[in-house]
Amino acid sequence: MLTRDENDALTRTGAETLMGDLLRRYWIPALHDWELPGPDCPPVRVKLLGERLIAFRDTQNRLGLIDEFCAHRGVSLWFGRNEECGLRCPYHGWKYDVTGQCVDLPSEGDDGPMRKRMKLKSYPCIEAGGVVWTYMGPAELRPEPPALEWVRVLPRQRYVSKRLQESNYLQAIEGGIDSSHVSFLHSGALRTDPLFVGSKGNEYNERDLMPQFDVAEFDGGLLVGARRNAENGGYYWRITPYIMPWHTIIPPRAGHPIGAHAWVPIDDHNCWAWSINYHPRRELSEAEVGAMKDGKGIHVRYVPGTFTPLQNRSNDYLMDRAAQKAGIHYSGVEGIAMQDASLQESMGPIQDRTRENLCPTDRGVVMMRRLLLQAAEANRAGGRIPGLAAAEQHVRSCAIVLPREQHFKEHARHGLFPALGTDPVTV
């Protein structure tokens, strides 16, 4: 259980908050690269960590992410004309480049002093892994580019989606590192979802409903191990890396692709749930990509033209009580992603953690919260924070059966810290 102050510190992400300052130290996934398809394409609204911004590609294909509102009289630059290396406000013609600098103020002329003083807030952007990333922290502390494994594989080896989740980012991360709920909430999907079926691990999930948790630290964050009984006196381990501050990697099942998430705050009440499938050695098959586009596995179907899931709060997630009663979907909600999101959103925009009652299976959640708070305090004090360096992001999830006397911390390292291009360790 957290105190009210701790809960507020962990969930408030605006500028100059404890957690907001920490999260701005990392590269933030902001957009699919295809949302800005080419030079001078229409600008796109972006909201991150409570800040309203506009993204665009200029004539030279440079990326810009600037304050949404014109410095003149506050018009949204979403209405702007993207032309000749800048975004021009249609109200009075003020024009801004990718750095936010006003480069044309028609009422003043080329040499007027006011134009030079007008500069909007802007953030640097890079492209990696099919995603446009931005850095919103102090310029002198800008870290290395993201080096997660799914970012480094070839484009045909990954599939990336994002969806709106109507909850604070923290309860989404907590769901991402909680392996104990799989035996209940996702039990139907383990038997039917084409991206999960056929794994021996599914049997262990169904047979052993009381997993034991052990958590190990590594340079980039935490390794959350969930242990279940297996044959011949062995243990089936599923080890989920949590990479600071919002990345999780899902242990694979059989020969299916690895799953991953990034849970990024839009504001304190909403987040982007980025969902990634990738295989470190081979291209994804047409059938796999087709299933992902159809909302299988960790992906969703959308309200057309949006990133809002077709199943959402407004329609009670299309819950089917008959399917729930028959055991087809344990909660009555179809699809792994929306099974998670529906329950996390049901907690309210920000869960009141002063009322929870934790148990041993919540060990990973407790340590993740502690790590975030410690890192935030270290950031304020000028100390080291984990997960910034590229080497600290070189980790992979794995699923493995080990003899009882062997612990994953020593005996699953070949699956957790492998060379790029090798097959996952999976069951």
pLDDT in tens, 193-217: 999 999 999 999 989 999 999 999 9
In the chain, % of residues over pLDDT 90:
94
Residue 109 has pLDDT above 80, yes or no: no
Determine the Cα angle at 219 with ends 215 and 225, to 5°: 20
In the three-class reduction of DSSP (H, G, I as helix; E, B as strand; rest coil), residue 123 is classed as: coil
Mean pLDDT on 96-125: 92
Q: Do domains 28-141 and 149-416 have the same CATH topology?
A: no
Query: Are 339 and 185 in contact, with CB atoms under 8 Å apart?
Result: yes
Tokens of 127: 């492209």
CATH architecture of 28-141: 3-layer Sandwich (2.102)
User: CATH classification of 149-416 is 3.10.180.10, yes or no?
Assistant: no
**In the prediction, which pLDDT does 112 show?**
77
Mean pLDDT on 13-36: 98
Query: Are 105 and 94 in contact, with CB atoms under 8 Å apart?
Result: yes
> Which residue from 280, 282, 300, 298 is spatially nearest to 148, judged by alpha carbons?
280
**In the prediction, which pLDDT does 214 show?**
96
120-134 pLDDT, tens per residue? 999 999 999 999 999
Domain coordinates in residue numbering, the chain:
28-141, 149-416
The pairs formed by 71-78 with CB atoms below 8 angstroms and a separation of 24 or more are: 71/102, 71/118, 71/119, 71/120, 77/43, 78/43, 78/44, 78/45, 78/54
**214 bridge partner residues:** 225
Give residue 294's pLDDT band: very low, low, confident or very high (50, 70, 90).
Answer: very high
Query: Are 179 and 240 in contact, with CB atoms under 8 Å apart?
Result: yes
**In the prediction, which pLDDT does 108 show?**
83
Residue 253 has pLDDT above 80, yes or no: yes
Give residue 332's pLDDT band: very low, low, confident or very high (50, 70, 90).
Answer: very high
**In the prediction, which pLDDT does 48 show?**
98
DSSP letter at 94 equals -
Rounded to 5 degrees, φ, ψ at 400 are -155, 145
258-281 pLDDT, tens per residue? 999 999 999 999 999 999 999 999
> Which residue from 13, 333, 356 is spatially nearest to 184, judged by alpha carbons?
333
> Which residue from 146, 125, 138 is spatially nearest to 57, judged by alpha carbons?
125
